[in-house]
Chain A
Amino acid sequence: MTDVIVPKVAGGAYAPVHEEHGPTGLMKWITTTDHKVIGMSYMITAVALFYIAGLLALGIRVQLTTPHGTFISFQQYNELFTMHGSIMMYLFAGPFAFGGLANYIVPLQVGAPDMAFPRLNALSYWLYLGGSIMMLMGFGVAGGSADFGWVAYAPLSTSTYTPGLGEDLWIMALVLTGFSAIFTGVNLVATIFYLRAPGMTMFRMPIFTWNMLVTGILILIAFPVLTAALVMLFCDRHFGTKIYSVTGCHTTAGIVDVHACGSAVLWQNLFWFFGHPEVYILALPFFGIATEIFPVFSRKPVFGYKGMVFATMSIAALSTGVWAHHMFTTGTVLLPFFSLMSLLIAVPTGIKFFNWIGTMWRGQLVYTTPMLMSIGFLFAFLMGGVTGVMLASPPIDFFVHTTYFVVAHFHQVLFGTAVFAGFAGFYYWYPKMFGRMLNDRLGRVHFVLLFVGFWVTFIPQYVLGLHGMPRRVASYPTGLGWQSWNIASTIGAFMIAFSFVVLLVNVWVSWRYPVPAGDNPWDAHTLEWFTTSPPPHHNYTHLPQIRSERPTWDYNHPDAPTIRHGRSQGPPNGHGPYTGGDGGPPGHGNGSAGVARGVPAT
């Protein structure tokens, strides 16, 4: 155990950096409890799984290039789309955000030396890695991997229809990753509630941290339900319970005995009570990333800070009351209630869009790769969001349910968030994590290929959906005009794949020919840019006084007018008049390396 004392105030004498004297090499990665190393482990694992799931998607697209494709068998096709969805949803998007980026960034942003429970944090990672390996093991067992779709609807997922080992491995893998997510959620909430630096009030926290707090609460709401539902599904498959199973509940006279019969719709209720908040568990962190990036590269404070916070809370709250809009066509749910709740989510999301645009409005925009990716996120998520509003209307949903329209909708939502905003965060924080820059020109090439590929892939899928092409089919009839749209979609998918080859090249270039980043290469606002890149063990040797939600900016630009929320407390760091309120003029800073640390804050 190491007692960590509060860092000294910036400008004072340096406190000695506490060096970790733990193991080195591989043992360092295995035994670490440092949130930064764990966060990086999470990110490396998640991105590796993202590439694997991307390859599976290419397999799907190649199969659909011709109406009666023979690239893979129908069984393999089922396995491919199941594992593509499962890996992307459960093992990439969520863990990359709340296990990787949040683990690394949140303690830095609130001025904490580590997460609240470092060993639990390490355990979360090992459970996640174990779950990931277990799910992939499905490809190696007899009968192949799980093939019931990432939603595992009963009764298809009961042992009568999918008796294989791959399905059992899938269920157990999600139990492991479910516990991992719950532990991370507890850790995030406890860190934010208890380990903030002095003066870092709740309404001075960066929006990313706010979003991660709300995401942490959503994890605690959603994941226990999924884990419990999966355990019950496993009991149905192997221990003879009848919770979802509907086989064998007829009496000898052929009458259905309701007391001996499970409810297949119960699975859908439980699954989507997890599944819809899960969509926002995957979206809110990425909203937070974009909200960090827009102000920095517009040279302005974020527009409507409190509006952003309350919009995040509203989205999260509403998202937990809309689960059955995935079940409109079952005929067992209350259409007006779930339709209204779903449509209401558009309001706080719209507020966020206005605030993002307001942040950029009349700012001095700097089109670096993170900024381009974030703007790409705006377009992609807007399209996905608008079609989401359409799908919240039951008459439209009845028409396009289980077609490619839905596939295109949720890919635009999740691609917009997890890929555009996710990799915006990757480009943005990479200098902080590794102390070296990624090449901006290669980053732009990555963005352009990704952006064009994205639309070429998914716009044809909307058309296919409206023409009636069902999802989860490995072949389709000729003569309906579907093939040309499918070919277009496949070309787009390969463009996206190529863009991620460019990313690999970029990372390789940054390792082979490092360009030092400095502490604050973007002239950014929030606390994580105050410490060194990469940060020392326990993060901070000294901290600036925290007087607004932009402490690093205040420290580096003592004469700049600032904007604060809540009560006025006089000028930041004792510099300059408090002008407050009007957002501050644009045009400060030029993106050059930040002020050297240790400069006295006189």
Chain B
Amino acid sequence: MKVESTFLLGIATFFGIIAICYWFTSYEDGGTTMLVGVTALGFLPGTYYYFWHRRFRGHKYFFWGRTDRVVGTRPEDRDDATIQDGAGVINSFPGSSVWPFVFGGGAFTLLLAFVFGVWLAAVGISLIVTALVGVTAESRRGGNH
């Protein structure tokens, strides 16, 4: 987690500095707004990962305090981890599902409605709602294998 958080916080730092330089050299709103947006894009997930990196190491807060329970780093973050260290379930992955296709068709039709007429929106929204219900039901049921 440490490299991931450093990577994202590095993005935030770089664009924070660039945003300040840009604003005070150009006083231009549009570009500065976008650069601040990029800073936030790095900062928000970066601090999240940093928080978890600290928690894994047993720190209670961001910069101080230590508790007894130390989870340690993940096997994929350790140089000396063996394949056996990661034994167990990685994750649950969905099997085949028709609903992304239906959702995609719905989005396609919905956007066509802006070009060819509102009536198409009824078709598009119906497909999207059907797909959302379908994918939710599929997940609750456990899905196809």
Closest to B75 in A: A198
Q: A512 an interface residue at 8 Å Cβ cutoff?
A: no
Contact yes or no, A118 B3, CB < 8 A: no
Q: B43 an interface residue at 8 Å Cβ cutoff?
A: no
Q: Give residues of chain B (73-87) contacting chain A, Cβ–Cβ below 8 Å.
A: 75-87
Q: Give residues of chain A (168-225) contacting chain B, Cβ–Cβ below 8 Å.
A: 168-169, 172, 175-176, 179, 193, 195-203, 217, 220-221, 225
Which residues on the A side are within 8 Å of B142 (C-beta)?
Answer: 1
- CB 8 Å contact bits of B2-39 with A (1 = contact, 0 = none): 01100100110011001001100110101100110010
Which residues on the A side are within 8 Å of B83 (C-beta)?
Answer: 6-10, 197-199, 542-546
Interface centre among B7, B49, B78, B95 (most CB of A within 10 A): B95
- CB 8 Å contact bits of B56-70 with A (1 = contact, 0 = none): 000000000000000
Contact yes or no, B93 A2, CB < 8 A: yes
Closest beta carbon of chain B to A157's beta carbon, Å: 15
Q: B72 an interface residue at 8 Å Cβ cutoff?
A: no
Q: A234 an interface residue at 8 Å Cβ cutoff?
A: yes
Q: How many residues of B contact A (CB 8 A)?
A: 63
Interface centre among B3, B38, B95, B96 (most CB of A within 10 A): B96
Q: B112 an interface residue at 8 Å Cβ cutoff?
A: yes
Q: Which of B18, B76, B95 contacts A22 (CB 8 A)?
A: B95
CA gap between A324 and B26 in the complex, in Å: 12
Which residues on the B side are within 8 Å of A324 (C-beta)?
Answer: 31
Closest to A337 in B: B25
Which residues on the A side are within 8 Å of B119 (C-beta)?
Answer: none
Closest beta carbon of chain B to A196's beta carbon, Å: 4
Which residues on the B side are within 8 Å of A129 (C-beta)?
Answer: 104
Q: Which of B22, B30, B101 contacts A266 (CB 8 A)?
A: B30
Q: Which of B41, B81, B90, B97 contacts A199 (CB 8 A)?
A: B81
Q: A569 an interface residue at 8 Å Cβ cutoff?
A: yes
Q: A396 an interface residue at 8 Å Cβ cutoff?
A: no
Which residues on the B side are within 8 Å of A321 (C-beta)?
Answer: 15, 18, 22, 35
Q: Which of A22, A133, A544 contacts B108 (CB 8 A)?
A: A133
Q: A114 an interface residue at 8 Å Cβ cutoff?
A: yes
Contact yes or no, B105 A126, CB < 8 A: yes
Closest to A265 in B: B30
Which residues on the B side are within 8 Å of A217 (C-beta)?
Answer: 11, 41
Contact yes or no, A32 B96, CB < 8 A: yes
- CB 8 Å contact bits of A1-26 with B (1 = contact, 0 = none): 11111111110000000001111000
Contacts A2-B145, A122-B100, A337-B25: A33 and B108 contacting too (C-beta < 8 A)?
no
CA gap between A546 and B86 in the complex, in Å: 12
Contact yes or no, A4 B92, CB < 8 A: yes
Contact yes or no, A33 B111, CB < 8 A: no
Which residues on the A side are within 8 Å of B116 (C-beta)?
Answer: 165
Contacts A7-B83, A337-B22: A127 and B135 contacting too (C-beta < 8 A)?
no
Determine chain B's interface SS by DSSP, over half rule: helix
Which residues on the A side are within 8 Å of B111 (C-beta)?
Answer: 130, 134, 172, 175-176
Contact yes or no, B100 A126, CB < 8 A: yes
Closest to B86 in A: A198
Contacts A197-B83, A269-B30, A545-B82: A5 and B98 contacting too (C-beta < 8 A)?
no
Closest to B10 in A: A313
Which residues on the B side are within 8 Å of A250 (C-beta)?
Answer: none
Which residues on the A side are within 8 Å of B25 (C-beta)?
Answer: 334, 337
Which residues on the B side are within 8 Å of A193 (C-beta)?
Answer: 4, 49
Closest beta carbon of chain A to B52's beta carbon, Å: 11
Contact yes or no, B143 A6, CB < 8 A: no
Q: Which of A114, A119, A334, A538 contacts B26 (CB 8 A)?
A: A334
Q: A320 an interface residue at 8 Å Cβ cutoff?
A: yes
Q: A484 an interface residue at 8 Å Cβ cutoff?
A: no
Contact yes or no, A33 B96, CB < 8 A: yes
CA gap between A198 and B89 in the complex, in Å: 13
Closest to B102 in A: A126
Interface centre among A7, A131, A175, A193 (most CB of B within 10 A): A193
CA gap between A340 and B52 in the complex, in Å: 38
Contact yes or no, B76 A198, CB < 8 A: yes
Which residues on the A side are within 8 Å of B15 (C-beta)?
Answer: 317, 320-321
Contact yes or no, A198 B82, CB < 8 A: yes
Q: B115 an interface residue at 8 Å Cβ cutoff?
A: yes
Interface residues, chain B, CB within 8 Å of chain A? 3-4, 7, 10-11, 14-15, 18, 21-22, 25-26, 28, 30-31, 34-35, 38, 41, 49, 75-101, 103-105, 107-108, 111-112, 114-116, 135, 139, 142-145
Give 5 CB contacts A-B under 8 Å. A9-B83, A33-B93, A33-B95, A126-B105, A127-B104
Chain A to chain B: the 5 pairs with minimum beta-carbon distance, closest first: A126-B104, A22-B96, A130-B108, A198-B75, A198-B86
Interface residues, chain A, CB within 8 Å of chain B? 1-10, 20-23, 28, 30-33, 112-114, 118-120, 122-123, 125-127, 129-131, 133-134, 165, 168-169, 172, 175-176, 179, 193, 195-203, 217, 220-221, 225, 234, 238, 266, 269-270, 273, 313, 317, 320-321, 323-324, 333-334, 337, 538, 542-546, 566-567, 569
- With A5-B87, A198-B76, A199-B75 given, can you name 17 additional A-B contacts, CB distance below 8 Å? A1-B92, A2-B92, A6-B87, A20-B95, A23-B96, A30-B98, A119-B99, A122-B100, A168-B115, A169-B115, A198-B83, A199-B76, A199-B78, A221-B38, A238-B114, A321-B22, A545-B83
